[in-house]
Chains A and B, each alone.
Chain A
Amino acid sequence: MAKLSIKDLEEIRNKVKKTAMLREGISNAKITVHMGTCGIAAGARTIMNTVIKIVEESKRDDIIVTTSGCAGFCSKEPMATIELKGEAPVKYSDLTEDKIRRIFDEHVLKGKIVKDYALVIGSEREL
């Protein structure tokens, strides 16, 4: 490894910043893919892979991807919840790769809820 300049050091910092932020739980958006047995059976795994791929493509370093268990609407799986910072979580159901891509582009990146696929806004408890 050659010696670094101050600029190189800054570049390394920017590259690993995302990891650091993830470990601290700092984010502006959180995508939760529901991965209960029902979700996995309905194809949640594919949705998860797609999500990871599109988040990476977007080059955004403030988006967290996580999983949770069955959301209780087993017939509507696969499902995902999008939570933008300071806003109520939105649950999307019956996902496909295309749907999650659209949700990502419109909701996560532009802040517009995709009403066509949204199941509930807010957590179940508030329903």
Chain B
Amino acid sequence: MEYRTHLMVCTGTACVSCGAFDVKKTLEAEIKKQGLDKEVLVVGTGCQGFCAQGPIVVVQPDDIFYQLMQIEDIPFLVEEHFLKGRPVKKMMYTPPGEKTEIPTMSEIGFFNKQRLIALRNKGLIDAEKIDDYIGRDGYKAFIKALTEMTPDEIVQEIKDSGLRGRGGGGFPTGLKWEICKKQKGEKKYIICNADEGDPGAYMDRSIIESDPHAVIEGMLIGAMAIGANEGVVYLRTEYPLAITRLETAIEQAKEYGLLGEDIMEQGFEFNLRIKQGAGAFVCGEETALIASIEGKRGMPNKRPPFPAESGLWGLPTNINNVETWANIPWIISNGSERYAEIGTEKSKGTKVFSLVGKINNTGLVEVPMGITLKEIIFDIGGGVPDGKKFKAVQMGGPSGGCIPAELEDTIIDYDSVNATGAIMGSGGMVVMDETTCMVDVAKYFLNFTQEESCGKCTFCRVGTKRMLEILQRICDGNGEEGDIEKLEELAAQIKDSSLCGLGQTAPNPVLTTLKYFRHEYEAHIYDKKCPAKACKPLLTFGINDQCIGCTACARVCPPKAISGERKEKHVIDQDKCIKCGACLDTCKFKAIDVN
């Protein structure tokens, strides 16, 4: 019997961590109990993207979107909606600040401004079933490439599409393939970079979890074009769900004869394996990644020679990011012209971003190039929570920079983003509000790169450490005149004398915050004040005339720094105060001032 309704339960990592597997199990049990198990099918899908609202269930073909699913509500939901046909309002999504629920997924702002190419199958297929992928025209592009196109035609198609690498650098993909294709030699390799080390970024994980065959198909097409017959996916160990799903997908593709020898009886051979990376940020850099696959220490090497000439085991190697690979089948199926219609002059297609930080709709979004930052943050992201003001967005992770609110009309396009001093990067977007201190943000990212530096280059190893010490001093209230200049000088030297991208871009977060928020550095150094009131050592707590002498604060103050008679105004002993903020949280009369 055919199923009339499909319940697409998101089983991406974020939803699983809030109980998606239990939701799925309970749904299945209730549906069986109501005798609907021959009509209603429960499907586990990859990440739907709207992670803030998980666990998520989408009912198809009706397109009803249920969110924040609770196990207790499931019996009611099954009876009301799936038996009696009455969608349940209270489990639908209501946008922040609004009162009416939005029943269908396509009406929700978070979804309807997106343009799905790399994530075209998200939420529509069971990632562990190859047939589901095939039903959505999966492997059709590969068959087209295999039977109707020459390697040159494939390369030309990718060149014409204007696709640029999504791993951060933005190098034109078709051109990269052409260079590798032209190399002489019997054996060539292709690699999928799924190391994804940027803090807060999870685009690549999500693509593999929701649609692993898209990556395999992209690699098959690339392998044909370049003339490689061996591929490696470098996937970090911290992504267990992605590893299992990709392993399953590779197994299934082998069984179907889509991987291995004499694929589809056309005489083409391609084998694919997974190499688990131990999760060092620097191993995402291509030469370090290759060293790591070879069993050596994951340290970058100098380029040239580029991997296209001498890569894995010294042989020509083409390396692309997960998202880049996932775009390939769509381009081959739909043609480069259609792909190039999307986006701006020099940046074509779409980009996946993970939206995190001070934003209502935390999640994963795929948007057309050319969209503005403002549209992403407000229309899709739902703006900043708690009525706070949007201050800046950090793009490109530790190699990127902070774009201030004044530049919210900046469009998503490699050149426009670069012009701000940030970079497109791999797609992490961390949104900050007025309570975020920009010196603190710069310190956070620099701390990350400093720890992840492989140590090969002196400036990257020691220079970042010196910069970090200065930033720490500034945040502690011990900033000195000349610190800003010292930071700038060190930044320039680190950029100049580092071997790899990690060192070359490590100062970017400091440089962009200095460019747009210099006054915050100055306030820390000269006035010993943190304008965002985030750096604790720079705050002073005081008690104003609103105090009625209730003694509540004195009782919670850990070092007993507050004194005063009952019903009289209290005072804080500044020498004893450890600036923990307990009094501020306790006082009901707004009598605590923070300066």
Contacts of A24 in B (CB 8 A): 60-61, 124
Contacts of B8 in A (CB 8 A): 23
CB distance from B410 to the nearest CB of A (A): 34
Contacts of B60 in A (CB 8 A): 22-25
CB distance from B491 to the nearest CB of A (A): 50
0 or 1 for each of A18-62: is its CB under 8 Å from B? (1 = yes): 111011111100001111110010000000100011011000000
CB distance from A75 to the nearest CB of B (A): 18
Cross-interface CB contact of B132 among A16, A25, A52, cutoff 8 Å: A16
B552 CB-CB contact with A under 8 Å: no
Nearest to B80 among chain A residues (CB) is: A69
Indicate if the CB atoms of B132 and A20 lie closer than 8 Å.
yes
Nearest to A71 among chain B residues (CB) is: B85
Q: Within residues 128 to 153 of chain B, which ones have a CB less than 8 A from any CB in chain A? A: 131-132, 134-137, 139-140, 143, 147
Kindly state the interface size class of chain B when it binds its partner: 35 or more
Contacts of A52 in B (CB 8 A): 1-2, 4, 39
B62 CB-CB contact with A under 8 Å: yes
A109 CB-CB contact with B under 8 Å: no
Contacts of A18 in B (CB 8 A): 2
Nearest to A16 among chain B residues (CB) is: B135
Beyond A18-B2, A33-B85, A35-B85, is A5–B264 a contact (Cβ under 8 Å)?
A: yes
Indicate if the CB atoms of A9 and B139 lie closer than 8 Å.
yes
Beyond A13-B134, A19-B135, is A6–B147 a contact (Cβ under 8 Å)?
A: yes
CB distance from A108 to the nearest CB of B (A): 14
Complex: A40 Cα to B39 Cα, angstroms: 16
B99 CB-CB contact with A under 8 Å: no
Indicate if the CB atoms of A25 and B62 lie closer than 8 Å.
yes
Residue among A26, A37, A67 facing the most chain B CB atoms (10 A cut-off):
A67
Complex: A22 Cα to B84 Cα, angstroms: 20
Cross-interface CB contact of A66 among B1, B5, B84, B131, cutoff 8 Å: B5
Complex: A25 Cα to B61 Cα, angstroms: 4
Contacts of B2 in A (CB 8 A): 18, 52, 55-56
Indicate if the CB atoms of A66 and B256 lie closer than 8 Å.
no
Complex: A33 Cα to B4 Cα, angstroms: 11
Contacts of A17 in B (CB 8 A): 135
Indicate if the CB atoms of A6 and B134 lie closer than 8 Å.
no
Residue among B63, B84, B85 facing the most chain A CB atoms (10 A cut-off):
B85
Indicate if the CB atoms of A64 and B39 lie closer than 8 Å.
no
Indicate if the CB atoms of B134 and A64 lie closer than 8 Å.
no
B6 CB-CB contact with A under 8 Å: yes
Nearest to B143 among chain A residues (CB) is: A6
CB distance from A58 to the nearest CB of B (A): 11
Beyond A4-B257, A68-B85, is A13–B1 a contact (Cβ under 8 Å)?
A: no
Residue among A17, A19, A34, A56 facing the most chain B CB atoms (10 A cut-off):
A19
Contacts of B6 in A (CB 8 A): 19, 22-23
CB distance from B288 to the nearest CB of A (A): 37
Complex: A52 Cα to B134 Cα, angstroms: 25
Nearest to A67 among chain B residues (CB) is: B85
Contacts of B82 in A (CB 8 A): 67
B187 CB-CB contact with A under 8 Å: no
Contacts of A127 in B (CB 8 A): none
Indicate if the CB atoms of B124 and A3 lie closer than 8 Å.
no
Nearest to B62 among chain A residues (CB) is: A66
Contacts of B86 in A (CB 8 A): 36, 68-69
Cross-interface CB contact of A67 among B1, B84, B257, B260, cutoff 8 Å: B84
Contacts of B575 in A (CB 8 A): none
Residue among A16, A23, A27, A48 facing the most chain B CB atoms (10 A cut-off):
A23
Cross-interface CB contact of B140 among A4, A13, A15, A48, cutoff 8 Å: A13
Interface residues of A (CB under 8 A from B): 1, 3-6, 9, 12-13, 15-20, 22-27, 32-37, 40, 48, 52-53, 55-56, 64-69
Interchain Cβ contacts under 8 Å between A and B, 30 examples? A1-B255, A3-B257, A3-B260, A6-B143, A6-B147, A9-B139, A9-B143, A9-B256, A12-B131, A15-B131, A15-B135, A16-B134, A16-B135, A19-B3, A19-B6, A20-B132, A22-B3, A23-B8, A23-B60, A26-B61, A34-B85, A36-B86, A56-B1, A64-B4, A66-B4, A66-B62, A67-B85, A68-B85, A68-B86, A69-B86
| The 10 residue pairs across chains A and B that have the minimum distance between CB atoms | A3-B257, A67-B85, A16-B135, A69-B86, A65-B4, A20-B135, A25-B61, A68-B85, A35-B85, A23-B60
